[in-house]
């Protein structure tokens, strides 16, 4: 199962931490905290049964897009992010 709580970090043009809860329907919701800009933001998105996840930031991080892959066996998530006003980078995390 993919559902659960995921905690991780992101790096690149900005760096910080994130938390996402993935429910049994594949809907993701959570938050992020920018270490570079000192702001927090809301994250929402969806995951497929195959483990592909797409998320976006809202508010001040409204143009941030996260695309990644969840590993069903290990509970790891990793991918890349892009925000037009900030730049890009990678993210990784673990289901707890």
36-87 pLDDT per residue, tens: 888 899 999 999 999 999 999 887 666 789 999 999 999 999 999 998 888 9
Dihedral angle sign, alpha carbons of residues 22, 25, 26, 28:
negative
75 to each of 1, 10, 16, 19, 51, how far by Cα in Å? 9, 17, 20, 14, 10
Q: What is the pTM of this model?
A: 0.93
> For residue 61, what pLDDT is reported?
61
pLDDT score of 8: 97
32 has a pLDDT exceeding 90: yes
Question: Can you give the pLDDT at residue 14?
Answer: 92
């Amino acid at each position: 199962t993919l559902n659960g709580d995921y905690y991780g970090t992101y790096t690149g043009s900005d760096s910080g931490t994130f938390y996402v809860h993935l429910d049994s329907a594949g809907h993701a919701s959570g938050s992020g905290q920018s270490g570079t800009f000192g702001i927090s933001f809301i994250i929402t998105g969806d995951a497929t049964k195959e483990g592909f996840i797409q998320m976006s930031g809202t508010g001040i991080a409204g143009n941030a897009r996260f695309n990644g892959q969840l590993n069903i066996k290990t509970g790891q998530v990793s991918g890349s992010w892009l925000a037009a006003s900030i730049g890009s980078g990678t993210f990784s995390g673990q289901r707890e």
